[in-house]
Structure formats: structure tokens, C-alpha cells
């Protein structure tokens, strides 16, 4: 028997792991199974490529067994195995120099440990979170001697000769208090399914099956040893697209998402070159129930070389694509990537960028069938609009994908279709925002556009208020809100300008009456049937937006409206001739208040408004 000391960094690493990772202690099984899978991969490679190994039998399998009474758990494989030298090198030192540096840096600063520990490989040593003694019996493929490596994970390890029938490695954990929960068939099965289901080699669980036969005094308890394969042993997404039927894809989707409906469509990519990865994304046929909750469940799982890493990482997709379900499997990431590393990792960032582009191009393709796209848009149109302000890089693509209601067409229209309908020298896309489609369609703000036969988009979705003003442009066309004061400027004719001149004295008188209720009073060129309307100043948030922010409990800066009056309306014409006095004042207030009402805004004092109106009716009767 030979005794060995752990390399200093190993002792430090062991200490770090035990004290920082215990809340994720179940990953020890993932690490051991991954090591076995690697050992099988290595042997497979050699038997395929090296003549010296041509004779070695390759019967790949991983076996897990446990002994409840003795609190022992064994993970065994038929992989490459280790000789004495390998054992000293691999299970006594840290080979990776990056890891070594990291450990040196970390030790001594206990506070930072738990955040940073995940950034380097923990691997084999993680089993000391759940065991106070570990024994490794191993025989290297092509060699005759087997060895037993054993250690309590404190200062060093022993190596002695041992017996093993075949090449491969068996690791036995003598479980501690933290580990006893893992001598359970269900526990092991769950962890393997969660992390290692798609490892490409079969994993067998051995267990005792106890049943009673016969009745009464004849009853006998029979105990049988059984084994069961507990992983799927194939990475569905790694299979070639041509081997898979639509049905295969649908079934895998249901497995993955626990959705019982078929997906709407999917996209499967095997990328090779500077980066090797596979992605398989699904669009559900219905929006997930938690789509609009801050604590939504992310739909994309991350795998590294077919080993499950996480399904709880919102960063894998931009928020606006949170309804996408699927898998990213990278060949270029380390197995032990922590959340912190994931968020800054360049490999992952690149995969993400490519994936988003790919997904959006699938949407673009899908949009060619307007009937199908309508269904898609009903479910996911809103998150796509969020993308307009979240994803600047893909804004042009997203602008082609969003749809709006309009004064000119039934249903929804794209911006491209709006642009194709523009007439003459129109180079602005007009839109009106508000809560209620019906009242928006009747808004006095639209009168002039109707008269001039100019199309206006009806934006009645709450999110439009936030998103669309940030867009500004579609191709070379400016987007302008007709709720704002400057939208009608470019429609002004010479006649309008003359009428404006004429109205100046009346405007001054109105301003005196309204005082600081308004920001300004102007002659309008956008009205035809209504005497007045209110608009927001170019740089102010619209009133609907202000009301929305208030409803959301945010104290928004409330800006004052601009009152526009219609020079061609008979009420305004009559007001020009009126003397100052109560009747004039009431008329001014009523012209202002009705404009507020039409826009769906609250009056400061509804009772006063009603009283004024009744006075005027009384006079007229």
C-alpha cells in the first residue's frame, strides 16, 4: 500500500466545495455519472481509432447500486479506467491550471466562495459533500492490474492493489449524514433523470424488490435483485433532422414542456464551425399561463455535451422570447458553468445571438401564411412588441413582424402594407393611441385624416403607449402620434394659416378664461366636425400614457394639454362674435371639457361641467 498527500490546492478545493456547495449537494451524482460517461467516450474513441485497443471489449454501461443498511452508494462504469499513475495524477492533484489559480485566489476569502465556486470544475471531489470515505476500484483498459484508491477527503489518499474482473471504474461512497437520503431508488432515479437523462450510454439502477407471496401462515416475503435502465440514453436533439418525423418532434416537445397540446412549430439547428452546438426550439400553440408574470418559468434548458446544466436561467433567451421552449446544447462550454459565468460567457452569448436571429427568421417565414400568423400573433404579438424596445439589434426584423389595427383595413395590418397604401407625398406613418378601439375610431383627432383619406393605425394595446414612441421610424418613414400637437402641422394649407391668423384675438380671450388648465390654445387644422380637441405637446407623454402610469402607481409628471379649436366650426365662429361675460366663459369651458371627455379623460369637476351644460341648454330652450 502507498500513502499519498493531496496537492495543497486539492485540500483547499475540498474545503471550498464542502462549505459552499452543500445546498446543491445532489450534483455529486451528476459529476460522477458525467465522469463515467467521459471514461466511456474515451474508450470508445480508442477502440475506434487505436489498433492497440481493437481487442478491448466495449460494452458501455453505467451501473448504480446502493446498500441502505451500510449506507453505501456505488457508481460503476465499463470505461477507460485508471492505472496507478493515473490515480495519483487525476485523483490527487488538480490538473487544470485555471482551476488551480482560481482555488488559490479563493481560499482565505470565505465570503466570496459560494458565488464563485461554480466557475470552475468541481468534478470528482464533490462526492465529499455526501460521503466521509470514498473508495475507487479501477482497472485500465488493456492492462491487467487493478487498484483501490481510498480517502476520507481530508489530507491524503492510499493506493493498493485490488481485484476487478473487467476494465472500468467503480466508485463507492460511504455516505455521511448529508448523504443518507441518496440510498433511495426514487431519489437516485430522479436525480439521474433530471441531470443525466440524455447521456448517450445506458444507466442501470440496481435495487431490491420485496414482495409477499401466499396468505396467512403461508405468506412468504421474497426479495429479488432487479435492475432497470433509468435514463433515455439518447439525446433526441442530437439526432439528424432527416431521421426524425413530425410526430417524433411533437412527442419530444410534450416530454420536454409537459404541454399536452402539439407545438405550433419548431426549429432544429445543428451548428458546426467556430462553435459547435445544437438548438431545438419550439413555439407552443398557446401562450404559457405565466407569460405576463415577473416570475415566469424560463422555457429553455441548457446542456453541455448532452449533460443537463440548468433549466432555470432566464438569460438564455431575451425576455420578449420567454414563450420559446427548447434546448441549447453546447460542445464548447465547461460542465461546471455557474450562473455568473453563464451571464458573461462569450460562447453562450454568441449561441444566444444566433438563436434569436434564427427564431425571428422562423417567425418571418411563418408570417407568410397570414391565417397561421394571425393565430401566432394572437398568442405572442404582445411579447414581440416588447422586443421593439428590448432588442435594438433586431428591431428591423421585429418591425416587419408586428401588426396593428387601422382605419383602412379590417383585422390587422403590417407596417409594410401600410406603407404600400400611402398616397402622394405622404412620408409619415400616423397612429392614434388610447384604451378603447371604438372611441379611438370616433376620435375628433382623426377627422382631418379621414377627410384627406390618410390611413391612421389604431393602437389600443396598453403596451403600444410605451413601445411605439420609442420606435420613431420604420424604414424611411417617421412614425407620428396624432395625439400630439405637431402631427397635423405638415397637413396645413394656406387657408388653414389664414384662418389661424383670424382666430388670434379669440384664442387670447380663451387663454384668459382657461388660465393654467392648458399649456396652450391653438387653431386646429385637423378637425372638421368637432369644435375642439386636445393634444399633447410634442415632447410630453400622451394623456393616456400619464393615466396608465398613474394607474400603475407611478407618479408620472402630469403635463397640461394643448387645446385646439376648429376655425370652421359654427360654435367657434359664434364665439368670435360673443361679448366677454358668463356665457362666453361657460362656452369656453364647455368646449374644453368636451374635448377631454371625448379622449376618455377624467374631468376635474364633473358636477360643474353638468351645471354649465344645463345652463346653456336652458338658455337655448
Residues at the site binding ligand ADP, with contacts judged by CB under 6 A: 31, 35-36, 39, 77, 79-82, 90-91, 121, 123-125, 169
Buried b (16+ CB within 10 A) or exposed e, 2-18: eebebbebbbbbbbbbb
Residues 412, 471: Cα–Cα separation, whole Å: 19
Instruction: Name the packing angle between helices 606-620 and 582-598 (round to 10°).
Output: 120
Residues 433, 464: Cα–Cα separation, whole Å: 7
CB 82, min distance to ligand ADP, A = 5
CA atoms within 13 A on the CB side of 568: 13
CB 334, min distance to ligand ADP, A = 8
CB nearer to ligand ADP: give 39 or 456: 39
CB 485 within 8 A of CB 566: no
CB 336, min distance to ligand ADP, A = 7
Instruction: Name the packing angle between helices 582-598 and 570-577 (round to 10°).
Output: 160
CB nearer to ligand ADP: give 13 or 595: 13
Burial of 415 from C-beta contacts in 10 A (0-12 / 13-18 / 19+): buried
CB nearer to ligand ADP: give 94 or 347: 94
CB nearer to ligand ADP: give 91 or 471: 91
DSSP letter string over 317-342?
Answer: S-GGGTT-EEEEEESSS-S---HHHH
CB 372, min distance to ligand ADP, A = 46
CB 344, min distance to ligand ADP, A = 21
Residues 458, 441: Cα–Cα separation, whole Å: 7
CB nearer to ligand ADP: give 86 or 520: 86
CB nearer to ligand ADP: give 136 or 482: 136
Longest dimension (CA), the chain: 117
CB nearer to ligand ADP: give 79 or 561: 79
Instruction: Name the packing angle between helices 97-106 and 8-20 (round to 10°).
Output: 60
Residues 387, 381: Cα–Cα separation, whole Å: 10
CB nearer to ligand ADP: give 231 or 544: 231
CB 178 within 8 A of CB 25: yes
CB nearer to ligand ADP: give 35 or 355: 35
**DSSP helix/strand/coil, 581:** coil
CB 337, min distance to ligand ADP, A = 12
Q: Which residue is nearest to ligand ADP (CB)?
A: 123
CB 475 within 8 A of CB 427: no
CB nearer to ligand ADP: give 74 or 257: 74
CB 477 within 8 A of CB 427: yes
CB 39, min distance to ligand ADP, A = 3
CB 143, min distance to ligand ADP, A = 13
Residues 506, 500: Cα–Cα separation, whole Å: 10
CB nearer to ligand ADP: give 159 or 432: 159
Residues 39, 192: Cα–Cα separation, whole Å: 17
CB 63, min distance to ligand ADP, A = 12
DSSP letter string over 441-466?
Answer: HT-GGGHHHHHTT--EEEE-SHHHHH
Residues 280, 298: Cα–Cα separation, whole Å: 15
CB nearer to ligand ADP: give 134 or 589: 134
CB 541, min distance to ligand ADP, A = 54
Q: Between β-strands 62-67 and 203-213, what pairing exists: parallel, antiparallel or unpaired?
A: parallel
Which secondary-structure segment (H or E) carries 432? Answer: strand 428-433
Amino acid at each position: 500500500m502507498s500513502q499519498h498527500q493531496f496537492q495543497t490546492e486539492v485540500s483547499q478545493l475540498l474545503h471550498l466545495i464542502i462549505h459552499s456547495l452543500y445546498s446543491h449537494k445532489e450534483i455529486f451524482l451528476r459529476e460522477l455519472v458525467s465522469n463515467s460517461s467521459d471514461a466511456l467516450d474515451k474508450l470508445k474513441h480508442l477502440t475506434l481509432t487505436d489498433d492497440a485497443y481493437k481487442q478491448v471489449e466495449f460494452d458501455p454501461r453505467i451501473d448504480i447500486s446502493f446498500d441502505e443498511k451500510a449506507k453505501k452508494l456505488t457508481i460503476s462504469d465499463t470505461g477507460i479506467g485508471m492505472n496507478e499513475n493515473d490515480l495519483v495524477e487525476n485523483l490527487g492533484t488538480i490538473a487544470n491550471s485555471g482551476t488551480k489559480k482560481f482555488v488559490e485566489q479563493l481560499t482565505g476569502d470565505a465570503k466570496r466562495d459560494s458565488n464563485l465556486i461554480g466557475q470552475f470544475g468541481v468534478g470528482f471531489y464533490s462526492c465529499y459533500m455526501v460521503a466521509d470515505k470514498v473508495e475507487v476500484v479501477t482497472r485500465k483498459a488493456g492492462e491487467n492490474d487493478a487498484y483501490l484508491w481510498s480517502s476520507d477527503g481530508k489530507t491524503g489518499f492510499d493506493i493498493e492493489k485490488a481485484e476487478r474482473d473487467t476494465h472500468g471504474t467503480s466508485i463507492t461512497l460511504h455516505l455521511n449524514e448529508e448523504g443518507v437520503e441518496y440510498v433511495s431508488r426514487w431519489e437516485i432515479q430522479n436525480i439521474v433523470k433530471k441531470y443525466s437523462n440524455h447521456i448517450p450510454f445506458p444507466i442501470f439502477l440496481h435495487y431490491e424488490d420485496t414482495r409477499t407471496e401466499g396468505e396467512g401462515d403461508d405468506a412468504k416475503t421474497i426479495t429479488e435483485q432487479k435492475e432497470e435502465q433509468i435514463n433515455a440514453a439518447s439525446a433526441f436533439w442530437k439526432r439528424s433532422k432527416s431521421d426524425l418525423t413530425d410526430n417524433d418532434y411533437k412527442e419530444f416537445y410534450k416530454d420536454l414542456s409537459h404541454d399536452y397540446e402539439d407545438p405550433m412549430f419548431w426549429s432544429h439547428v445543428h451548428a458546426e464551425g467556430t462553435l459547435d452546438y445544437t438548438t431545438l426550439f419550439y413555439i407552443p400553440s398557446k401562450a404559457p399561463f405565466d407569460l405576463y408574470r415577473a416570475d415566469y418559468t424560463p422555457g429553455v434548458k441548457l446542456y453541455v455535451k448532452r449533460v443537463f446544466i440548468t433549466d432555470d436561467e432566464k438569460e438564455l433567451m431575451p425576455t420578449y422570447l420567454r414563450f420559446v421552449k427548447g434546448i441549447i446544447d453546447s460542445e464548447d462550454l465547461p460542465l461546471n458553468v455557474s450562473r455568473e459565468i453563464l451571464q458573461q460567457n462569450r460562447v453562450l452569448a454568441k449561441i444566444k445571438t444566433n438563436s434569436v436571429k434564427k427564431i425571428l427568421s422562423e417567425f418571418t417565414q411563418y408570417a407568410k401564411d397570414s391565417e397561421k400568423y394571425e393565430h401566432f400573433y394572437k398568442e405572442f404579438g404582445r411579447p414581440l412588441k416588447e422586443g421593439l424596445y428590448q432588442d435594438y439589434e433586431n428591431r428591423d426584423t421585429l418591425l416587419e413582424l408586428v401588426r396593428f389595427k387601422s382605419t383602412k383595413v379590417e383585422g390587422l395590418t403590417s407596417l409594410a402594407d401600410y406603407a404600400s397604401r400611402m398616397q402622394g407625398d405622404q412620408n409619415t406613418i400616423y397612429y392614434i393611441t388610447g384604451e378603447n378601439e371604438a372611441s379611438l375610431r370616433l376620435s375628433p383627432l382623426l377627422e382631418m385624416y379621414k377627410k384627406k383619406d390618410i390611413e391612421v393605425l389604431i393602437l389600443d394595446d396598453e403596451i403600444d403607449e410605451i413601445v411605439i414612441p420609442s420606435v420613431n421610424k420604420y424604414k424611411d418613414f417617421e412614425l407620428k402620434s396624432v395625439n400630439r400637437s405637431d402631427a397635423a402641422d405638415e397637413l396645413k394649407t394656406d387657408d388653414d394659416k389664414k384662418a389661424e391668423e383670424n382666430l388670434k384675438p379669440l384664442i387670447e380671450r380663451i387663454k384668459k378664461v382657461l388660465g393654467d388648465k392648458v399649456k396652450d390654445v391653438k387653431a386646429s387644422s385637423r378637425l372638421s366636425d368637432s369644435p375642439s380637441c386636445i393634444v399633447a405637446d410634442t415632447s410630453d407623454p400622451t394623456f393616456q400614457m400619464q393615466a396608465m402610469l398613474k394607474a400603475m402607481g407611478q407618479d408620472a409628471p402630469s403635463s397640461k394639454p394643448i387645446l385646439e379649436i376648429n376655425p370652421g366650426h359654427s360654435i367657434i365662429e359664434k364665439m368670435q362674435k360673443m361679448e366677454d361675460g358668463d356665457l362666453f366663459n361657460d362656452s369656453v369651458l364647455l368646449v374644453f371639457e368636451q374635448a377631454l371627455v371625448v379622449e376618455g379623460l377624467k374631468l376635474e369637476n364633473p358636477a360643474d361641467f353638468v351645471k354649465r351644460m344645463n345652463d346653456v341648454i336652458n338658455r337655448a330652450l
